[in-house]
Amino acid sequence: MRAIVVGGGIGGLTAAIALRRIGVEVVVFERAGELREIGAGISLWVNAMKALERIGLAEAVRETGREEIGGTIRTPGGETLSKIPADALEERFGLNVVLRRPDLQRVLLAALDEAGGLMRLGVECLGFWQDGSGVAAYFADGREETGDLLVGADGLNSAIRARLFGDERPRYAGFTAWRGLADLGDGREEPGFEAWGRGGVFGLVSLGRGCFYWYATKNAPEGQRDAASGRKAELLERFGSWHEPVPSVIWATKEEDILRNDVYDREPLKRWGEGRVTLLGDAAHPMTPNLGQGACQAIEDAVALAECVRGEENVANALRLYEEQRRRRTADISRRSRLLGRAGQLENPLLCRLRNAAVKAMPLRYQLRQLDPILGYEA
């Protein structure tokens, strides 16, 4: 069996590795001419680590990253609104792993290479056609590739999704996000947290030895340009008075290394594919980053896809089974993420006070129960 994977992001690479592991011949076609995973750091929550375990990748990811426990929400002044004790989280779910995105990409590329998967760079897929005997993807350079199944892992503005279901625009979530990496140079250890202000949040994740991955958001019209003073100056203006180490990590980040993306998601799809074609990761279910689950769900998709293909000889049946397994869960997580995003981006002072009071009053038992369906998931 031969699989065509369109898109070499976290989802496409993991799918290719998982399919190779069950003996499927795989070629990944990636539009970018070189692979440069951008986006600073990433949290792989325990549900994604469990999926990686099933394809033998968890150990390599754990060794590359750092085991972390999240779960603290603060005010901009540093008051703790909610904190799930590390031991309660670890005991109930296990540990998540945080790492730099390029490091994760290196692990995935090495695993793909070792498994004998192929990667073609600088090839943009424009669409596909299929019949009873196979599927063919066609590319901007005129080439055509045939296979038994095609996985559209080509992200938010997926060409495969557009070919399947039409070219509907994603939904703008109403806010923009900055991300960066900072080395404080003093080996300082700070526990991770997310601070909720008015109309924006600032999150910090320790990568160890004084290095931090951070992200920040603000409500803004779609496509708003950077302030004339630059990203760093705008961030300092917005977050410079927040509690330490927020100002320090912004100061320690180089202007040219600060990323900015508007945030989008989409309404859940009723169907993800047709015949020998399916979708995976952001192509199927882009979600706001508030739960840090976009890539985690892409990883879960990838492992589930390979497991369905292994158990079923008819390709179309295997893909429908995979979609059936994944649709409800990803729709639920996407909805939760959107709701959390709305809470984090509240701007009205009264509503912010009510939100903070509600978060503060939330019993630990309830907080853990909220995380159960996401982190406690067993496929």
Ligand X SMILES: Cc1cc2nc3c(=O)[nH]c(=O)nc-3n(C[C@H](O)[C@H](O)[C@H](O)COP(=O)(O)OP(=O)(O)OC[C@H]3O[C@@H](n4cnc5c(N)ncnc54)[C@H](O)[C@@H]3O)c2cc1C
Q: Of 145 and 282, which CB lies nearer to ligand X in the complex structure?
A: 282
Alpha helix (H) ranges present in the chain? 10-21, 46-54, 58-64, 86-92, 101-115, 159-165, 231-239, 246-251, 294-311, 315-344, 349-361, 364-375
Q: Letter for the amino acid at 365?
A: R
Which one among 51, 153, 269, 279 touches ligand X, defined by CB under 6 A?
153
Q: Of 271 and 360, which CB lies nearer to ligand X in the complex structure?
A: 271
Q: How many CB atoms lie under 10 A from the CB of residue 240?
A: 12
Binding to ligand X (CB under 6 A) within 243-272 occurs at 261
Binding to ligand X (CB under 6 A) within 85-124 occurs at 124
Question: Quick one: which of 86, 92, 39 has its CA closest to 67?
Answer: 86
What is the Rg, in whole angstroms, of the alpha carbon atoms belonging to the chain?
21
Each residue 156-185 as x (binds ligand X by CB under 6 A) or -, in order, gives x--x-----------------x-x------
For residue 31, state whether it binds ligand X (rule: CB under 6 A): yes
Q: Of 142 and 349, which CB lies nearer to ligand X in the complex structure?
A: 142
CA distance 54 to 46: 13
For residue 296, state whether it binds ligand X (rule: CB under 6 A): yes
Q: Which stretch binds ligand X (CB under 6 A): 17-25, 30-38, 67-75, 308-316?
A: 30-38
For residue 128, state whether it binds ligand X (rule: CB under 6 A): no
Q: Of 206 and 293, which CB lies nearer to ligand X in the complex structure?
A: 293
**To 5 degrees, how large is the angle CA 51–CA 341–CA 225?**
110
Smallest gap, in angstroms, from Cβ of residue 38 to ligand X? 9
DSSP of 27-94, one letter per residue? Answer: EEEESSSS----SSEEEE-HHHHHHHHHTT-HHHHHHHSEEE---EEE-TT--EEEE--HHHHHHHT-
For residue 327, state whether it binds ligand X (rule: CB under 6 A): no
Residues 6+ apart with CB under 8 A from 120: 27, 28, 29, 30
For residue 155, state whether it binds ligand X (rule: CB under 6 A): yes
For residue 294, state whether it binds ligand X (rule: CB under 6 A): yes
Could you tell me the sign of the dihedral formed by the alpha carbons of 163, 10, 302, 215, in that order? negative
As a residue count, the chain comes to 379
For residue 344, state whether it binds ligand X (rule: CB under 6 A): no
Smallest gap, in angstroms, from Cβ of residue 328 to ligand X? 18
- How big is the site for ligand X, counted in residues (CB under 6 A)? 35
Binding site for ligand X (CB under 6 A): 6-12, 29-32, 39, 42-43, 124-125, 153-156, 159, 177, 179, 215, 261, 281-283, 289, 292-296, 298
